[in-house]
Amino acid sequence: MFRSIGHIVRLGRAARVLARHGGLITPEQLREAPLAARIGVTLLGAGPKPRAAKEGDALSAVSAALAELGPSWIKLGQFLATRPDIVGPERAEQLSELQDRLPPFPQKEAEARIEKALGRPVSELFAELGPPVAAASIAQVHKARTTDGRTVAVKVLRPGVKRRFQRDLESFYFAARAAERFHPPSRRLKPVEVVDTLAHSVRLEMDLRMEAAAMSEMAENMKNDREVRIPAVDWERTGEEVLTTEWIDGVPLADVEGLKRAGHDPARLADVVVQTFLKQLLRDGFFHADLHPGNLFVDTDGRLVLVDFGIMGRLSPYERRVWAEILHCFIVHDYRRNAEVHFEAGYVPPHQSMDEFAQALRAIGEPVLGRPAEEVSMGELLGRLFRTTERFDMATQPQLLMMQKTMVVVEGVGRMLNPKLDVWHAAEPVVRAWIGRHLGPAGRLEAATTQTGQAIARLPELLQNVADAARNLANEEHRRETKSTDSRARADWRIWLPLWLAAGALMALAIEQWW
């Protein structure tokens, strides 16, 4: 009871802060809310305010409100930027520009946290530890020089941030459970699962060893990509609350004029940004999900440098195959096959009409794909697709929404560098290579061979399981029957018949997959 009151008080305070800065609730969202929610919003004075005169004013209001509420709310805002199905496309667009900046905490406190996390005096680790050069909601970064003379970036977790996140996440769960209980239409959006995803992401982000591991994995994935560079991790100076990596001296990607003065070609870099993301997405299934310009630099050799690996996304091999085929079907205007892929993947429930869904896909694709190449957007195409979810009872797929939102950001970065960027042309070499590798005859043969090999490798285990189950059943029956010879013969027969039937079925499956 008292905990619920605490959650209500905290959420009410947040609503008032948001209202004071312009609010996050649109008139449309308020009209669709249940009566109790509308009354509560009105009493708290947290209803929608007149629209800001300028988009920048609205963004500043949102940023100021979330900064006042603290780190948890900044992260919630960044996370909701990937969920236009919840906050609406306009709010999601504003939130995607949200800057994660807070005042730094004191230098002495940072040094104390480094010593506690790494178990050694700062003087043994660093010959010099400079003041913070950047401060965000979860951590701040210092430029330092190691005792062996290397220049590094040292990321230090904010004091008390874990405890505050845990408290605020409990309030988010309280609000999500209330929404599912009292507002049935919201259940399609799975608000509790949304908070689960946020909580999981934040837990990973607050363990800086996981960020170091993500950097290491991506560096390994991209070691043969000569136009991309991932900073190396200094594992000796890295722990749960401290991350040390090589320092990058480069030009920020947002400084287009600076790139030109340094002799770099912005148009080439635009292609590299798009291709890098698609390689991560399709080839590796592990992508940087926060590719805004502040996390991208260009080094002296013209390589694209990625930093800040706190927010990452993954797609399974099956999801990659599905979405590569969906994109390919849009490109070739094959809307019927596109619909079939959605149904086969289970994204659209079987009770829906495939013909109507194919018609909806055509209505999505033709207006976008019919524009001049430099105006066509993959992110917009996917965004329109995901906005059809309610009409066809499609379950929300958080990892796919993260992919779509990252694609929007990547395209924005690309067009910042090259206003005439043809995203489809830039993506074509990566997509064509992946489709040829995985959806062509060679890819299908490899998939069948892999599945056959996996089935054969599991055959002894499966046979043993069948044998054990059959033997247990036979023993149980044997205890209930008399000890006559006929009973034992029947029991022996029941042991081996399922075993040989299972073996035959598995071999038939293996042969079918091979051919």
Compute, in degrees rounded to 10, the torsion defined by CA atoms 11, 13, 19, 20: -160
Tokens of 213: 């591991």
Given a cut of 90, is residue 258 above it in pLDDT?
yes
pLDDT at 323: 82
Using 50, 70 and 90 to split pLDDT, how confident is the model at 52? very low
pTM: 0.72
pLDDT at 25: 59
pLDDT at 218: 97
Domain ranges of the chain: 1-100, 103-247, 251-439, 443-514
pLDDT at 116: 95
Residue pLDDT, tens place only, 306-352: 999 988 989 998 888 888 888 888 878 899 999 999 999 888 889 99
Using 50, 70 and 90 to split pLDDT, how confident is the model at 110? very high
Give Cβ neighbours of residue 126 (< 8 Å, ≥ 6 apart): 144, 145, 146, 147, 152, 154, 237
| Stretch among 236-250, 308-322, 489-503 having the lowest mean pLDDT | 489-503
Three-state secondary structure string covering 155-203:
EEECCCHHHHHHHHHHHHHHHHHHHHHHCHHHHHHCHHHHHHHHHHHHH
Distance between CA atoms of residues 12 and 7, nearest Å: 8
Compute, in degrees rounded to 10, the torsion defined by CA atoms 340, 408, 436, 426: 140
Distance between CA atoms of residues 254 and 143, nearest Å: 21
Given a cut of 60, is residue 459 above it in pLDDT?
no
With H, G, I as helix, E, B as strand and everything else as coil, classify residue 150: coil
pLDDT at 514: 46
| Stretch among 101-115, 346-360, 494-508 having the lowest mean pLDDT | 494-508
Give Cβ neighbours of residue 419 (< 8 Å, ≥ 6 apart): 374
| Catalytic status, residue 148 | no
Name the range with the highest mean pLDDT among 32-36, 47-51, 417-421: 417-421
- Marked catalytic residue, from 100, 168, 271, 290: 290
